[in-house]
Amino acid sequence: MHTDLPGRGVCMCGRYYIDPDTEDSVERLFHIRPDHRTAGDVTPGMSPLVLHGRSGKMSADAMYWGMTGQNGSMIINARSENIYDRPMFRNSIADRRLVIPAAGFYEWDRERNKVTFHLPDSGPLFLAGIYTLDRNKEAFVILTTSANRSVESVHDRMPVIIPARDVTDWLFEPKKTREFLQTVPPMLTSEREYEQISLFQTMLLEKQ
C-alpha cells in the first residue's frame, strides 16, 4: 500500500472515521439521503460514503478506497502539488473530483501514540479526493497537502479539506480546482489516544 508521496515512513491519511452525526450533516447540508451508511473507522480497501457529481447532480454513494498502481500496489493518497503532472491522476482531477465525509482522521506520532484530528466544533470534515474506473469498479484516493501548524508536529502531510460551503464548487467548477488545492487547510483539534483513555477513566471515576 502506497501513498504516492514521501512521508516519514508511515502512510499519510490511512485511516479516518465516520459517526452518525457526519451522515446527518450530509443530509442536512446537501439535501441528499445517503443510501449507504457507514459508522466507525474506515481503512483502505473498504467502500465508504463519498459525495461526487453524476449527470450534473450531487450523488452520495459507496466507493472503493484505493487505486491500483502500475506495479499492482494499492495507492490511497495523491499529492495535490503535482496532481496535474501525473498521468495516472490528470484526467481524474479534471473531471472526477469528490469529497469524503469524515468526523476526523488519525495519525501516529513518533512514540506510536494514535492521534485523532477533527474540527474544533466537531463538525464534519470533507476530505478532497479524485476517482476513476479501476478494474471494473469506481475507486478513489485522498488528496494531501503540506501539514499546517495543528498537524505538522505529528506528520508533515494532511488531507486537503474542502469547507462545507465550497463542496458544490469543488465538485462542479473545474476552474476553481487549483485554488482549492492551494488553500491552507483549517486548524484542527487533536487528542492522543492516552489522553482519550485518561479522560474516559476520569469519567468512570466520577460516576462511581
Mean pLDDT of 152-172: 97
Asked if pLDDT for residue 169 goes beyond 90, the answer is yes
pLDDT in tens, 83-127: 999 999 999 999 999 999 999 999 999 888 999 999 999 999 999
Mean pLDDT of 62-79: 95
Collect all residues with Cβ–Cβ distance below 8 Å to 154 and sequence separation of at least 6: 107, 108, 109, 115, 147, 190
- pTM of this structure: 0.88
> Is 9 in contact with 24 (CB distance < 8 Å)?
no
pLDDT tier for residue 28 given thresholds of 50, 70 and 90 = very high
In the prediction, which pLDDT does 142 show? 98
Residue-range domain boundaries for the chain: 16-207
CB atoms within 10 A of CB 150: 16
Span of 19-28, 60-69, 97-106, 192-201 with lowest mean pLDDT: 192-201
Question: Which one is predicted more confidently, 97 or 200?
Answer: 97
Of 101, 125, 124, 5, the closest CA to residue 50 belongs to: 101
Mean pLDDT of 12-18: 89
The secondary structure of 3-36, three-state, reads CCCCCCCCCCCCCEEECHHHHHHHHHHHCCCCCC
pLDDT tier for residue 11 given thresholds of 50, 70 and 90 = low
Share of the chain above pLDDT 70, in %: 87
Asked if pLDDT for residue 8 goes beyond 60, the answer is no
Asked if pLDDT for residue 208 goes beyond 50, the answer is no
In the prediction, which pLDDT does 197 show? 43
> Is CATH 3.90.1680.10 the right assignment for the domain spanning 16-207?
yes
Mean pLDDT of 35-63: 92
